[in-house]
Amino acid sequence: MVASVNTADSFDDLMACHLDAGRKAVGPCSIVIFGASGDLTARKLIPALYHLFKEKQMPVAFRVIGFARREKTDDSWRAELRTALDQFSRTKPVDDAVWREFAANVMYCMGDITDAPAYQKLEVMLDSPGNLALRKNMLFYLATPPSQFGEVAGQLHHAGLLRRGNGEGWQRLVVEKPFGHNLASASVLNNELTRFAHEQQVFRIDHYLGKETVQNILMFRFSNSIFERLWNRESVDHVQITVSEKMGVGGRGDYYEEAGALRDMVQNHLLQILALVAMEPPVSLEAESIRDEKVKLLKSIRPLKPDAVATQVVRGQYFAGVVNGLTQPGYRQEPKVQPDSNVETFVAVKLFIDNWRWSGVPFFLRTGKCLPLGASEVRIQFRPTPHVLFAAACGNKLDPNALTLRLQPNEGISMRFNGKVPGTSVAVRPVRMHFSYDSEFGAYTPEAYERLLLEAMSGDATLFIRRDEVENAWQIVDAIRKGWEGKPLTNREFYAAGTWGPVAADDLLAPSGHAWRDPQPIK
């Protein structure tokens, strides 16, 4: 049974609360993209900026400057971007008139990021006649490898384009993941950046936090009293967070050989979702209040000692199998992957949060590649009813109540409970009440980068990761990697492509009587 949720009546529309009314205004600014010839710029950044412009959310005065070492003119770069936009825009076809108006504010600066004169050329472009605020307010987007973050920040500082702390106008650095490869490297990177910019000027981006449904976790929790009262150890049996990917590593084998699923997904995406699901209510909706609570939650996660890794963490690696009817090669047969690689393409971990709200409640996190379905969801499973009355009579047919937050695709919220099957017998069956974002609010959901770029321009750091968040997450991941040192994968840790992971992952839940609930296609 699926019960639709319909709240779109005239009264609710009238009473809708628009929190964006409190968002800081987005004033005139210049956006400089370092690594402008890269894939991220073409696939995500320029389409996001174009759509913000089309939706009239960009500032009245703005300009976008691409900085890269390849030789291009303004016109040739615009032509490249238009070709990419035709492919990657979330709405098609691209509006020619809107594109021409947007592209008039797009220009190109050729230079190497290690070359000081190139930054002087950039300064001249930024100083060109026009709106003075375009020179004072600058957003520097570092779509470069992390090893180049410090170099770019230092060169900008020495060119007088990046000042540390307050001054006339503002300058902000947006940096992409991976933010280091362990705690030590992340600390070094943080120190390099904060030599030239204040922590409040550094916006560490995790595109997962820009997803509409991830943001809705806080709204769902703290604006609905009926659920928040159940959100604790007295009502919750355990929590499962699944981020599954259907694709293999493809052409990213060299990157994955360095990162693996633990660094690529757990350190950022999964721990960020965990923090939002389990954090305490912030004292306000201000960025620092929310980020304070996320850090407190990460600090409350029980440390994993090396001997605990063997019982609380499972890794896996896919071998050849069938996905959607097509043969998928094994990870070790992927391009740029070592034939005897022990890099994990699957991770499942059992964590405990040692605070008053969650004491004793296990949190199971898992992520993997070449799984049957690409999906992200959070399942809150509530404690079973006492073994009397229906529980005693129905046994396993009496399913535990559960609340599922589907983050992607088919975004929505499902409540699972037990209902009587129609008829003369007393038969019970689990049923589902489902709320769909598309059905309720329409199909429009902005891309994550649209929201994140808008927040960076406005100076709202709520959806960005603070230094202590990064470092606390790395502490958790480093402990796991230490427990894996010198231990090759076992037979129970391999899984066929197109399945839900290794059998060892089931062993993680079985001792406590739990089982993974795999995401299901929602039609």
Q: Are 401 and 417 in contact (CB under 8 A)?
A: yes
- Name residue, tokens 């079973």: 384
What residues are paired with 140 via a beta bridge? 32, 173
What residues are paired with 141 via a beta bridge? 33, 174
Q: Where are the strands (E) in 61-103, listed by range?
A: 62-68
Cα 382 from Cα 416, distance rounded (Å): 10
Residue 51 is among the residues annotated as catalytic for this protein: no
Residue type, 92: K
Angle at 221 between CA 215 and CA 223, to 5 degrees: 95
Cα 38 from Cα 14, distance rounded (Å): 45
Residue type, 387: H
Catalytic residue among 207, 238, 269, 514: 269
Phi (first) and psi of residue 239, to 5 degrees: -130, 135
How many alpha carbons lie under 13 Å from residue 375 in its C-beta half-sphere?
21
User: 356: phi > 0 → left, psi -120 to 50 → alpha, else beta; which?
Assistant: alpha
Phi (first) and psi of residue 157, to 5 degrees: -65, -45
Cα 410 from Cα 445, distance rounded (Å): 11
Q: Quick one: how far is CA 150 from the chain centroid?
A: 24
Q: Which two tokens stand for residue 450?
A: 């649209």
Residue type, 482: K
CB atoms within 10 A of CB 61: 16
Residue of 220, 362, 363, 354 whose CA lies nearest to 299 = 354
Cα 295 from Cα 94, distance rounded (Å): 41
Q: Are 176 and 373 in contact (CB under 8 A)?
A: no
Q: Are 278 and 294 in contact (CB under 8 A)?
A: no
Catalytic residue list = 269
